[in-house]
Structure 1
Amino acid sequence: MSQQQWNAVDDYFTDLLAPADEALSAALRDSDAAGLPHINVAPNQGKLLQLLAQVQGARRILEIGTLGGYSTIWLARALPEGGDLVTLEYAPAHADVARANIARAGLDKVVDIRVGPALDSLAQIGAEHTEGTEGADAPAPFDFVFIDADKANNAHYVEWAVKLTRPGSLIVLDNVVRSGAVTDAASTDASVRGTRSALELFAQHPKLSGTAVQTVGSKGYDGFAIARVLA
């Protein structure tokens, strides 16, 4: 099959099962106008994330990699009343675009955007979960984690995800195929090495049970991994 066929199938699935509304369309449009890279999830993938979070019954979601907030909107819409989502973005300019997109979608009251290196933000969140903040009780663990940031640090993000979740939580790791290069144990590419290390954690960590799936579509040849946190 060709990329043209993959695109046509994705268009059919999206139009039928994950049609855009103004908030989602505007998020993509404004992200493009701001010069953000075209690396957001596809619409049908965004709907999959939303469904997974809903099936999970997630009340607290952690997203590592905000970009323009497109996937954030899909995920935040899965939350029940009283739920919240924390999303981490390295680039202040990207966070500004995401903040406007999320506010237009009416989700700014449930989404907390943390700006800066994700590992620094995760350490801060870890401290909040251990000690609480400003005299308040520590936040509840996250029920769902979506990792879609710099791939070199994927293993570190998975390690933090395990620390910040509970038994039964789900962790989704995006872009794991690396155009097939994920099979190359000798690769010197930091993204490949980081992804392989994360997948090895999925396989070997005593608190994780996971798998990975290859995909084709409007984003080309790719895939994702998913793991359940064990007791």
Structure 2
Amino acid sequence: MMNTIIDITDPVLQFLESHRNTWTDYNIPFTDGVVLEELILKNNSKTILEIGTSSGHSTIWLAKAAEKTGGKVITIEMDINRFEKAERNFKNAGVDHLIDIKLGDAMEIIPTLRENFDFIFSDATWNTQQHDGYINFFKKCEPKLNIGGLFTMHNVTDGYGDDGRFFDYLKLLGNFKTHIIKASTAGISVSEKLY
């Protein structure tokens, strides 16, 4: 990853630091937030989509990066309680102007989005009974991912995410280059769309 210079006077970072050990509701670890920010900055991503807002920890990291690239974040959450917590957290962190949060089922919302994206972060939980859920999710996103864009997914090494079918599907497609970053036990897969 990049050697990021940390600005300790950054009010968003101060918010994240002050809440570092208080996030619940399936939010990502702090270390994974740092990874997401670095990926966006390295790739100068401006159009960012997040699937699975929870109460907004990862979204704040995405918005922190988007502010530096001149970008914006669209995030989707289906649980009303987490949605409302996230809205409050965005305002308290001072990044609400960078975020468009949508309430509903991402599988229904994604096809309605007009934007194409430079960066997609999937942190949604699928029912384990659903066959090929992560693949079906990816199929909704892939047409909206720009060439050179990154599709990232959380929980790829801790047993909460995909069981391997998603990565097998990417290999079959042949136009994605994938690696895994393990800053935490959860792991983040990073798949670049080559063509």
- TM-score interval for Structure 1 and Structure 2 normalised by the shorter chain: 0.7 to 0.9
Identify unmatched segments of 5+ residues in structure 2: 1-5, 128-132
Q: CA deviation at 1:82?
A: 4.2
Q: CA deviation at 1:161?
A: 2.4
Query: CA separation in 2, counterparts of 1:78 and 1:216?
Result: 18
Instruction: State the match for 2:125 in structure 1.
Output: 150
Instruction: State the match for 2:174 in structure 1.
Output: 206
Provide the aligned length of Structure 1 versus Structure 2.
181
**TM-score where L is the length of structure 2:** 0.81
Q: CA deviation at 1:197?
A: 2.4
Q: Are the aligned partners of 1:167 and 1:229 in contact in 2 as well (CA < 8 Å)? A: yes
Q: Are the aligned partners of 1:49 and 1:75 in contact in 2 as well (CA < 8 Å)? A: yes
Query: Which of residues 92, 97, 107 in structure 1 aligns to 2:80?
Result: 92
Query: CA separation in 1, counterparts of 2:17 and 2:83?
Result: 16
Residues 184-195 of structure 1: pairs in structure 2 closer than 5 A:
194-195=162-163
Q: Does residue 1:78 correspond to 2:46, yes or no?
A: no
Query: Which of residues 15, 19, 40 in structure 2 aligns to 1:22?
Result: 15
Q: Are the aligned partners of 2:45 and 2:69 in contact in 1 as well (CA < 8 Å)? A: no
Query: Which of residues 107, 110, 114 in structure 2 aligns to 1:122?
Result: 110
- Tell me how large the CA RMSD over aligned residues is: 2.5
**TM-score where L is the length of structure 1:** 0.69
Query: CA separation in 2, counterparts of 1:209 and 1:174?
Result: 17
Instruction: State the match for 2:148 in structure 1.
Output: 168
Q: Secondary structure at the match of 2:186?
A: strand
Q: Does residue 1:46 correspond to 2:37, yes or no?
A: no
The 1:205/1:24 distance shift into structure 2, 3 A limit, reads: farther
Query: CA separation in 1, counterparts of 2:125 and 2:74?
Result: 17
Identify unmatched segments of 5+ residues in structure 1: 1-16, 130-138, 180-190
Letter in 1 for 2:63: A
Query: CA separation in 1, counterparts of 2:166 and 2:123?
Result: 12
Instruction: State the match for 1:113 in structure 2.
Output: 101
Q: CA deviation at 1:195?
A: 4.0
The 1:48/1:117 distance shift into structure 2, 3 A limit, reads: same
Query: CA separation in 2, counterparts of 1:24 and 1:120?
Result: 34
Query: Which of residues 179, 186, 193 in structure 2 aligns to 1:222?
Result: 186
Query: CA separation in 2, counterparts of 1:75 and 1:52?
Result: 10
Among the aligned pairs, what percent are the same residue? 24
Query: Which of residues 11, 18, 42 in structure 2 aligns to 1:55?
Result: 42
Q: Secondary structure at the match of 1:102?
A: helix
The 1:124/1:56 distance shift into structure 2, 3 A limit, reads: same
Higher relative helix content: 1
Q: Are the aligned partners of 1:64 and 1:118 in contact in 2 as well (CA < 8 Å)? A: yes
Query: CA separation in 2, counterparts of 1:144 and 1:216?
Result: 19
Letter in 2 for 1:104: N
**TM superposition outliers: structure 1 runs of 4+ over 4 Å:** 17-20
